[in-house]
């Protein structure tokens, strides 16, 4: 069996799955309230006020995920060390190009690491890498918790992609890197879009309006303001996977095998 199909040092156990679902529920509430909550007309607030509460809610849940994996045997100290190394590497890449023009090389590392080490590891890596980046660059702000959960979902879903190897795997990852680049950008806009009073009527959030109306307005806003930015992220992520995916995937799998993570895994050959 190919190593790409089953190598997952962080296996989601029942307790860690519950914690991950709770963290995702917090994130969904933070991102989705403009569409899910019927706010009265004439209101609409930025997440600048509630972002601190979201941040406080997410950190214990992340620690709970790691604790649950340690307690259940799904993650050992070597896997935690790998998480720290990759988070530091992602933060370093981010400082080279901190989202300028949509170019985000750290996105590539998150996608391949989530693929190799599994959804739980990818989720944790997204949160820790973004937190480390904010500490290095001084870029902490009300947007930080939304960036953390957004990247966590990118890493999580990378670990849930179907089995593949060789060029098929790299093509799958390149397509995912592209699609998730657009999805991540569309999510992140939601932290400030409801309070963007400078927007024209057809692209602004309308408190009290129907779900369909606000979805349409957001689609117009995204297409006219963020689509080009996110296209750069999507293209860079996909190209990096195609160009550098093979050696990076092989290196991460080799490092995982040599570290002998205690979580079960199937042996196999590296992809072609």
The answer to whether residue 50 sits within a structural domain is no
The answer to whether residue 133 sits within a structural domain is yes
132 close to 91: Cβ distance less than 8 angstroms: yes
- In order of 19, 64, 71, 108, 116, the CA distances from 27 in angstroms are 12, 16, 25, 22, 24
Instruction: Name the pTM for this structure.
Output: 0.81
Q: What percent of the chain has pLDDT over 90?
A: 23
Handedness of CA 235, 237, 238, 239 (dihedral sign): positive
- In order of 45, 103, 214, 233, the CA distances from 230 in angstroms are 25, 8, 21, 5
Q: What percent of the chain has pLDDT over 70?
A: 73
d(CA 5, CA 18): 24
> Is 76 a residue whose pLDDT tops 80?
no
The answer to whether residue 66 sits within a structural domain is no
The answer to whether residue 49 sits within a structural domain is no
Query: From the CA atom positions of the chain, what is the Rg in Å?
Result: 19
Write the pLDDT tens digit of every residue in 210-257: 888 999 999 999 999 888 888 988 998 999 999 999 999 999 998 888
The answer to whether residue 92 sits within a structural domain is yes
- The residue segments making up the domain with residue 219 are 75-259
Residue with tokens 């602004």: 204
The answer to whether residue 193 sits within a structural domain is yes
Q: Name the domain count of the chain.
A: 1
CA nearest to 188, candidates 136, 155, 158, 148: 148
d(CA 262, CA 73): 7
42-69 average pLDDT score: 62
Confidence of residue 74 (pLDDT cuts 50, 70, 90): low
d(CA 257, CA 194): 47
The answer to whether residue 19 sits within a structural domain is no
d(CA 97, CA 120): 26
The answer to whether residue 61 sits within a structural domain is no
Q: What is the CATH number of the domain that holds 229?
A: 1.10.1760.20
Confidence of residue 6 (pLDDT cuts 50, 70, 90): very low
Model pLDDT, residue 220: 94
- Residue 121, SS3? helix
């Amino acid at each position: 069996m190919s190593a790409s199909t089953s190598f997952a040092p962080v296996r989601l156990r029942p307790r860690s799955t519950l914690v991950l679902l709770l963290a995702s529920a917090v994130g969904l509430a933070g991102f989705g309230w403009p569409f899910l909550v019927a706010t009265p007309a004439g209101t609409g607030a930025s997440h600048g006020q509630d972002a601190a509460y979201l941040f406080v809610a997410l950190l214990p849940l992340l620690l709970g995920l790691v604790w649950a994996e340690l307690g259940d045997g799904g993650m050992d100290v070597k896997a935690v060390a790998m998480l720290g190394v990759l988070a530091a590497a992602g933060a370093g890449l981010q400082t080279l190009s901190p989202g300028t023009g949509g170019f985000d090389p750290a996105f590539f590392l998150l996608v391949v690491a989530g693929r190799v080490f599994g959804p739980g590891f990818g989720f944790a890596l997204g949160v820790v890498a973004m937190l480390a980046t904010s500490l290095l660059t001084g870029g902490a702000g009300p947007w930080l918790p939304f960036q953390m959960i957004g990247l966590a979902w990118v890493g999580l879903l990378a670990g849930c992609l179907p089995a593949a190897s060789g060029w098929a795997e790299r093509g799958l990852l390149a397509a995912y890197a592209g699609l998730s680049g657009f999805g991540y950008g569309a999510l992140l806009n939601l932290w400030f879009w409801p309070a963007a009073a400078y927007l024209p009527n057809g692209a602004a959030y309308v408190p009290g309006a129907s779900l369909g109306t606000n979805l349409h307005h957001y689609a117009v806003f995204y297409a006219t303001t963020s689509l080009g930015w996110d296209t750069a992220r999507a293209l860079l992520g996909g190209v990096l996977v195609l160009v550098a995916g093979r050696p990076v995937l092989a290196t991460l799998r080799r490092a995982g095998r040599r570290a002998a993570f205690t979580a079960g895994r199937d042996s196999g050959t590296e992809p072609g």
